[in-house]
Amino acid sequence: MLRVQYEAEIETATVNLRTAKFDLLQLINERTPVDKFDVTGAFDWSDALQTLDEYRQIALQNRPDLRAAIQNIQQSNTNHKLAEANGSTDPT
């Protein structure tokens, strides 16, 4: 009886893991097949909350696409300022 219960719990955990991976893939809009997707890293619980800036820094370190997007925004702002500086006023 206990063996059947144990095997049922393993199957339930496996289904729950697959469902969680599928949900995560949908949230991040990733097209990787569920069987080839895995999550790695430290998952230690901490009661200490970090500041919003610290979370942003962690995101920048782990998301090169986010870092590239921020650099594109900064480059666009610089190009806009340069275009304004290169412009001339019409004396008439």
Q: Is residue 79 part of a domain?
A: yes
Q: pTM of this prediction?
A: 0.45
Task: Tell me the per-residue pLDDT of 15-69, one tens digit each, with 9 for 90 and over.
Answer: 999 999 999 889 888 888 888 888 777 777 778 888 999 988 887 788 878 878 8
Q: Is residue 10 part of a domain?
A: yes
Nearest-angstrom CA–CA distance, 88 and 91 = 9
Segments forming the whole domain that contains residue 26: 2-86
For the record, the structure tokens of 21 come out as 């991976």
Q: Is residue 24 part of a domain?
A: yes
For the record, the structure tokens of 46 come out as 């901490």
Has residue 2 got a pLDDT over 60?
A: yes
Q: Is residue 60 part of a domain?
A: yes
Q: Is residue 91 part of a domain?
A: no
Give me the number of domains the chain comprises: 1
Q: Is residue 92 part of a domain?
A: no
